[in-house]
Structure 1
C-alpha cells in the first residue's frame, strides 16, 4: 500500500503542477495531455506484461522494490529538465518503472488470501491510490507553491529511493512457486483472452480510465482557470476530498464485494455497475453547472469509481484465470486500462485547444465531458461481464 501511495503520488504530480510547468516550459494543453496520458501510459502498458512474468514466478519483492527505485530516480531527474522533451523523457522513465509494481502486488495478494478475503485485501492495497492522489495533490499544491515544481519533483523522488531497499527487506525477494502452480506456467494467455467476461472487465476498466485520467490530468487546471482557485487551494481541497471519499468508498466496496461474491459471483459486478452510474451526474454537473466549491465537490464525487473499482475488478479477474498467470492477467487488464486511459487526457487536451478560440477558459470544461461518457460505457461493460462470469470461472487451487 505504501508503494502504491508513491506510485500514484509520482504519477500525478504533473497534473497539479501543470500550470507552473506550462508557463515555464511553454507547454500546450495537447502536450500536457500526451505527457499525462498516452505518452506515459503506452510505455506503462507495454512494459507491464513482460515484467509481470517475473512476478508470476514468485519474485514479488524484487519486482516491486526495483520498480519503486526506477520510477523514483526518474521523478527526481524531472526536477532538472530545461525543455519539454527532456520532461517527456523523464516521465517515460517513470512509466517504465511503475509498470511492474501493481501486477506483482496483485499476484502477491491473490497468492496469500483466499477468494472470500481477496477483495478486502486488494481494497487495502489499492487504498494507496486515493492516499497517493491526496498526497500528490497536497504535496504538489502546497509544497509546489512553497518551493516550486522542480524541487517538489526532486524531493518526492529522493523519498522513494530511500524507501526502495526497505520494501525489499519487508517483503523479501519472493516466494518460489510450488510444483502444482509451476505446472500452470504454460497456461495460454490467448485462451484467457477469449473469455467474454475477461474482455468485458478489460473494457470496463479502460472506459473508467479514459475518463478518470482525463479528469486527473485537467480537473486541477479547470478549477484554476474557470473558478480562479490557486494551486495550493486546489491541491489541498481536491486532494482531501478525493482521498477521504475514495478511501471510504474503496473499503466499503471491498468489504461488501467480498460478502456478495459468496452469494453469487455476479453481484460484485452489479455493485460496480451501480457505483459507476452513480458517478455520472456529478461528472456532468462538475464541468457544466456547478460553481466554486460545488464544482470541486462534484469533481471528487465523479472520481469515486475511478479509485474504488480496481480492487473488486481484480478480484473478479483472478477468479477467471489460473494461479500461475495472475500477475500477467493483471498486467493485461492494466494494459487496456493504460491504453484507453492514455487517450482520455489526449482527447481532452485536443478538444480544449480546438474550442479555446471561441469559448476561452470554458473550453476545458466542455472537453472534460468525456468523463461521464466513459463512465456510462464502463457501466455497460460491467453488465456484460456479469452475464458471463459464472460460466468462465476457474477452480481456485491456491
Structure 2
C-alpha cells in the first residue's frame, strides 16, 4: 500500500465512527462497573440492620475489602492489558465482577459479603487499564481528553443509576413481600444484588466482538510483537512481584542486587509494624460498643481496624515491591512512570480528590436517610439521577474544555483540573449544613457537575507521559492510587470518625482536608508538564527503549 493510502487509512480509523462505537461500548461497561461497585452505598442501611454491622464495617466493605484486591490485581492486569488482547481482558473481568455481584445476594454474614466484594474487586480491576489503552489507540492526542472524559462519565452514570435502581428495587421488593414468602427467602437488598449483577454477563458477549487496534496506532509509534502465549501465567508471575514473600524470590530471579532485596525485606518489616501501631491507635478511638470483633486468634482480637490497616500495609508494600521489580525488568517503563515527577504529582492529586469524592459518595445516601429523614426510593432517585446527570455533563465537558484549552496552553487540561478541585468546596460545605432535603439534593447535583471536570485532565496527562505500550500499566497505576488509597481509605475514615465522634456530618467534611495538597500537586505539575512531555521519547530511549 502506498504511503499516502496508509496515512488515509490510519486517519479514517483513528477517531472515526468505529472508534466512537468502541468508546460508547466501553463507557457502558464502565457504567456497569460503577453500578456494581456503588450498590453497597444505598444498600448499607439494610445490610447493617440484617447483618448487625457498624458504620466502620460498612466503610470497610465499601472501600478497603474491594479496593485492596482491585488495586493489587489492577497492577498485574494492567501489565496483562499491555501484552494480551485488551477486549478479551475486559470481557473476562466483566463476567467475573457481574457474577460476584449476583452472588453477593446470597450473603448472610460479613465474611461472605466481604469474600464476594473481593471477587468484584478482582474482576473490575481488568476493565479500565485495558480501556484506557484501547482509547489511546483509537483517538488522536488532541481528542484524547474528550474521549477519556466521556468514558469516565460512566463512573457517575453508574453510581447514579446504582442509587436509583437499588432504591426502587428495595422499596418495591419489601412492599411486595411485606408479609413474607419472598422468593428464596431473599430480602430487598439481596434481590437488588441479583437484579443488578446478572445483566453484565450479557454485556460481556458484546465486548468480545470489538476489534483490537494496533498498539500505537494514533501516535504513529506502532508496537509490534507476538501475542502473549501464556497470559494467565504471565499475570500470576506479575502478582509475584507484588505479594510477599514471593517478591523476595522474584527480585532475585530477575537479577536484583542484594541491596535491593534487603530494602524489600525491611519494607515488609516496616509495613507490619505500621499496621500494628495504626490498628491499636484506631481501636482506641472507637467506643467499645461499636468496636466490632470479627474473630479471635488466641488472645488477639481481630477488629475491622486490624483488617483495614493490614490491607493498606499490604497494598502500599505491594506498590513499592512492584516498582523495585520494574526497575530491574523494564527500565524504560520504570523511568517514564516512577522517575517522572509530573506523572507522580498528577497521580497523587487524582488520588486525594478521589479520597474525598469516594468518601462523600459512599455516605451521602446514608446521611440523607439518617440526618434528613429521606425515604429510600425518593433519595435513591434524587441523589442517583442528580449525580448521574451532573457527572455525565461535568466529566464530558471537562474533557472538551481541557482539549480546547490545551490548543493554547500545553498545561490547559491540568488548569481545568485545578479549577475543578477548588470551586465545588463551598457547595459541598453548604450541602452538609442545610436542613432542607431538596436543597441537599440540588447541592449534590451541582457538586457532581462541577466537581467532575478534573478527571479528563489528570488521566490524559498520565497517558500522554508514557509510550503507547505502557498505557495499560499507567492506567493501572492511576487506578491503584484512586482505588486503593482513595476508595480504600475514604469511606473507611468517614466510618471510623463517625463511630468515634458520633457525628456523621463532621466525619464527611473531614474527607476534604487534603484539598491544599491537591492544589500544590497540580500547580507543580502544570509548571513541569511541557518539559516532561517533550522529553518522553528521549528519556525512554536513554533507558533502553528501542523506538
Residue 168 (1) aligns with residue 211 (2): no
What TM-score do the two structures reach when normalised by structure 1? 0.93
The correspondence for 1:104, drawn from 120, 126, 130, is: 130
Q: CA RMSD in A?
A: 2.2
Residue 65 (1) aligns with residue 105 (2): no
The whole-number CA distance in structure 1 between the counterparts of 2:211 and 2:190 is 34
1:35-75, CA deviations, whole angstroms, 9 ceiling, x for partnerless residues?
11122111111111111112112511011111100100100
Instruction: Give the match for residue 399 of structure 2.
Output: 254
1:328-378, CA deviations, whole angstroms, 9 ceiling, x for partnerless residues?
00100111111221111111000001112xxxxxx1111001233234432
- Whether the 8 Å contact between 1:68 and 1:161 is mirrored in structure 2 is yes
1:243-322 equivalences in 2 (<5 Å) = 243-304=388-449, 307-322=452-467
**In structure 2, the residue corresponding to 1:316 is in which secondary structure?**
helix
Residue 151 (1) aligns with residue 199 (2): no
Unaligned runs of 5+ in 2: 1-26, 174-187, 226-329, 538-546
Give the superposition deviation at 1:395: 7.0
Instruction: Give the match for residue 181 of structure 1.
Output: 223
Residue 120 (1) aligns with residue 146 (2): yes
Residue 383 (1) aligns with residue 423 (2): no
The whole-number CA distance in structure 1 between the counterparts of 2:199 and 2:89 is 18
**In structure 2, the residue corresponding to 1:265 is in which secondary structure?**
coil
Instruction: Give the match for residue 360 of structure 1.
Output: none
Question: Relative contact order (alpha carbons < 8 A, sep ≥ 6): 1 or 2 greater?
Answer: 1
What TM-score do the two structures reach when normalised by structure 2? 0.68
Instruction: Give the match for residue 332 of structure 1.
Output: 477
- Whether the 8 Å contact between 2:215 and 2:468 is mirrored in structure 1 is no
1:154-233 equivalences in 2 (<5 Å) = 154-169=194-209, 171-172=210-211, 175=214, 180-182=222-224, 187-233=332-378
Write 1 or 2 for the structure with the bigger share of helix: 1
Give the superposition deviation at 1:186: 6.5
The correspondence for 1:30, drawn from 37, 53, 56, is: 56
The correspondence for 2:165, drawn from 122, 139, 163, is: 139
Give the superposition deviation at 1:295: 1.9
Residue 240 (1) aligns with residue 280 (2): no
Tell which structure's C-alpha radius of gyration is larger: 2
Give the superposition deviation at 1:389: 0.7
Q: Which moved more, 1:122-131 or 1:215-224?
A: 122-131
Q: Which moved more, 1:10-19 or 1:120-129?
A: 120-129
The whole-number CA distance in structure 2 between the counterparts of 1:338 and 1:275 is 20
The whole-number CA distance in structure 2 between the counterparts of 1:28 and 1:143 is 24
- Whether the 8 Å contact between 2:33 and 2:158 is mirrored in structure 1 is yes
Give the superposition deviation at 1:174: 6.6
Give the superposition deviation at 1:83: 0.5
1:250-281, CA deviations, whole angstroms, 9 ceiling, x for partnerless residues?
12111111111122221211111111101111
- Whether the 8 Å contact between 1:288 and 1:366 is mirrored in structure 2 is no
- Whether the 8 Å contact between 2:416 and 2:457 is mirrored in structure 1 is no
The whole-number CA distance in structure 1 between the counterparts of 2:336 and 2:212 is 30
Cα distance, 1:176–1:296 mapped onto 2, change above 3 Å: closer
